Each structure stands twice: as structure tokens, then as C-alpha cells.
Amino acid sequence: MVSMETAIPEREVARLSARADVRLALAAGERDGLVVHAAGRDAGAADAAAALFASVYRRARAAAAAHDYGTPQLLRLQSPDGEVLAAGSGELVFVLVAERGANLGRLRLDLLAAAGASA
């Protein structure tokens, strides 16, 4: 039996990973960096992505607090090889790994919607 608590993040991860320009979508515990749900053609890298990018997101939260900027809503890590977007939702952080040249405006909206749905 799947509880409502886990169904929503799982549904949102599945929705995010369905886009062609998304290599990997996942929900992870922000504090522990462990995967809750993951999907996408690079799902084999989910454990690493969850641990590494949840940590970056935690650092971003500390940076926002240090600057008195409130809660971070979205983080983007930009690389020549792709982009990573992350958005917190309660104790979870949603992470997207997107192809280079992906429609980032669309992905940003989708990710924020996923985080909002799971809050």
C-alpha cells in the first residue's frame, strides 16, 4: 500500500522524468541525501546525484540564511555538460539533471510545481 505521503513525490518524479530533455529526476531527503524516488534514463546515478546535490542545496540554504534572504526556492548548477536544478519541499529536495540545451524555463516551472505539490 502506498501512502499519500510517498505517492505525491513518486508521481511528481515520474512526471518530471517523462520529459525528453531530463536525464534524471529524483526526490531525496535533504538532510540525509538518500533517494526517495528516482526515474529517468540516468536513474543508475540517482544515489550519487541525491547525495551530492542535496548537499549543494543544504549549502545554498545556509548561504541564503547568512545573507538574510529567506528560504531558497530554486537552485541551478550550470555546467557545459548539462544543468542541475533543485527545489526543496519540506524535508525533501527534488533534483533534475537536464540535458545541455534543455528548455530551462519550462523545467524551472515544472520543478517548482512539483515541490509545491509535495509540500
What DSSP state is assigned to residue 45?
G
| Span from 4-12, 13-21, 30-38 in contact with other proteins (CB under 8 A) | 30-38
The answer to whether the beta carbons of residues 13 and 27 sit under 8 Å apart is yes
Encoded one letter per residue, x for contact with other proteins by CB under 8 A and - for no contact, window 39-58 reads ------x-xxxxxxxxxx-x
Which residue, 21 or 47, is less far from other proteins as judged by CB? Answer: 47
Q: Which of 84, 90, 30 is nearest to 59 (CA)?
A: 30
In whole angstroms, the minimum distance from the beta carbon of 18 to other proteins comes to: 22
Angle at 64 between CA 77 and CA 80, to 5 degrees: 10
Question: Is 6 among the residues that bind other proteins (CB under 8 A)?
Answer: no
CA of residue 17 relative to chain centroid, distance: 11
Rounded to an integer, what distance in angstroms lies between the CA atom of residue 14 and that of residue 26? 9
| Residue with cell string 550519487 | 48
Instruction: Extract the C-alpha cell encoding 56.
Output: 549543494
| Span from 2-10, 13-21, 67-75 in contact with other proteins (CB under 8 A) | 67-75
In whole angstroms, the minimum distance from the beta carbon of 84 to other proteins comes to: 8
In whole angstroms, the minimum distance from the beta carbon of 87 to other proteins comes to: 9
Q: List interacting residues with other proteins (CB under 8 A).
A: 28-29, 31-34, 45, 47-56, 58-60, 62-82, 84, 97, 104
